[in-house]
Copies of this chain bind each other. A is one copy, B any other.
Amino acid sequence: MEFQLKKILNNLRIGSISTKRGLIDTPAFMIVGTQGTVKAMSPKELKDIGAQIILCNTYHLFLRPGPEIIKRLGGLHKFINWDLPILTDSGGFQVFSLSNLRKITEDGVSFRSHLDGSLIFLSPEKAMEMQLILGSDIAMAFDECTPYPADYEYALKSSLLTISWAKRCKNYHQNHNSQDQALFCIIQGGMYKELRLRCLTELSEIGFDGYAVGGLSVGESKKEMYEIIEYIGKEMPHDSPRYLMGVGDLRDVLVAVENGFDMFDCVMPTRNARNGTLFTSTGRLSIKRAEFKDDPTPLDEKCTCYTCKNFSKAYLRHLFLSREILSMRLNTIHNLSFYINFFKDMRESIELNRFKEFKNHWENILG
């Protein structure tokens, strides 16, 4: 993996990550494909809308279908028929948000599967082993996602554990990685700036291909989130990609990009699509609203996606009310196209020194 910055202006930056499977323009939005599929989309449609990378969840794929099957099928890319870059998370976040009866020790985490209740043990080494089997282009170190709220003592303990685990991940990965897989670490530390900085400093000393900020967008206020983003953004290594995990509200993205972040992921465009909430150049709309019942116009006159070029709001409303699968498909195509184009336009605005206008424009629309 190689990271090249094309332009830097204060903290604003555009660049690209090259991997053997393809280029990722940054700032980048990574589409979430939890179980080895982006919900409602085919790989072909993802390419058609311009997706350059997707994110898959190690925890989910570890439980089902399991590493052995993916290994026998030739790795994740082949299994899911996606030949562009994939980032896999480490499973840390899901262990803490989805599983029951988890028990954390220095060694790793024991937990019960949310699928069948079976007892499973995940450690830094196992998370690395699994991601090497998956063969993702970017792997994430196994971390403990600090919950919100967390007192100082807990956050300190949690970030020290994350640092120690990151070291073990790096060791394991160095000794077993034979396939150009990049390894990113995750900065924890809750809402405490000094813990975030300490975590970042120690992780930088270990050295990783990229640096992620985890444990945000987990229940804290926007003010708290922005404080951490603004603080840690300027402290992070300049020559490596900076990834803000799980943040995808476009208002937050604008703030994070302004503070030097390069990568984002979020289920918002896909989940909202399935719930009938759609993004347009003039704001969000709920497709079930009665006012659209005989509206012959597309969702967004400015959009050139398959949905907007072929279907009216009236039809999309009919499909949504009828709970048809095509509703989820057409809505997802549109929302993902919107996100991909938003990021493309944002990169262009940085290139043309017009990010401030871009941000103002969208802040007015997004409210």
Interface residues of A (CB under 8 A from B): 35-37, 39-44, 64-65, 68-69, 72-74, 79-81, 293-294, 296, 306, 310-312, 314-315, 317-319, 321-322, 324-326, 328-330
- Asked if B81 contacts A42 (CB within 8 A), the reply is no
- Chain B residues with CB below 8 A from A314, complex form: 65, 69, 72-73, 79
Least CB distance from A115 to B in Å reads: 10
- With A73-B314, A318-B36 known as contacts, the answer to whether A41 contacts B326 (CB < 8 A) is yes
Residues of B within 8 A of A319 (CB): 35-37
A311 to B78, CA, bound (A): 9
**Nearest CB of B to A191, in Å:** 35
**Does A318 contact B39, Cβ atoms closer than 8 Å?**
no
**When the two chains form their complex, are residues B73 and A324 in contact, meaning their CB atoms are under 8 A apart?**
no
Q: Are B81 and A311 in contact (CB under 8 A)?
A: yes
| Chain B residues within an 8 Å CB radius of A43 | 310
Report the minimum CB–CB distance from A316 to chain B (whole Å).
11
Candidates B68, B69, B318, B326; contact of A65 at CB < 8 Å: B318
Partner of A73 from the list B35, B68, B296 (CB cut-off 8 Å) is: B296
Chain B residue, CB-CB nearest to A71: B294
Kindly report how many copies of this chain are found in the complex they form together: 2
Q: Which residue of B39, B68, B81, B324 is within 8 Å of A39 (Cβ)? A: B324
- What B residues does A64 contact at CB under 8 A? 318, 321-322
Across the interface, name the chain B residue whose C-beta is closest to A314.
B73
Question: Is A81 touching B326 in the complex (CB atoms < 8 A)?
Answer: no
* Known A-B contacts A73-B312, A312-B79; A293 and B65 likewise in contact (beta carbons under 8 Å): yes
* Closest chain B CB from A295 CB (angstroms): 9
Q: How far is the CB of A55 from chain B (nearest CB, A)?
A: 16
- Pairs across A and B, CB under 8 Å, 8 listed: A39-B326, A40-B326, A44-B306, A69-B293, A74-B296, A80-B315, A81-B315, A325-B328
Residue of B nearest to A61 (CB): B318
CB distance from A39 to the nearest CB of B (A): 6
Knowing A65-B314, A310-B81, A315-B79 are in contact, say whether A326-B42 is a contact too (CB < 8 A). yes
Docked pose: A40 CA to B167 CA in angstroms:
46
Chain B: minimal CB distance from A325 (Å): 4
Cβ of A73 and Cβ of B39 under 8 Å apart?
Answer: no
Known: A40-B325, A73-B314. 6 other contacts (CB 8 A): A40-B326, A65-B318, A69-B314, A73-B296, A79-B315, A325-B329
In whole angstroms, how far apart are the Cα atoms of A293 and B317 in the complex?
38
Query: Judging by beta carbons under 8 Å apart, are A69 and B326 in contact?
Result: no
Q: Which residue of chain B has the shortest Cβ distance to A68 in the bound complex? A: B294
CA A42 to CA B319, docked complex, whole Å: 12
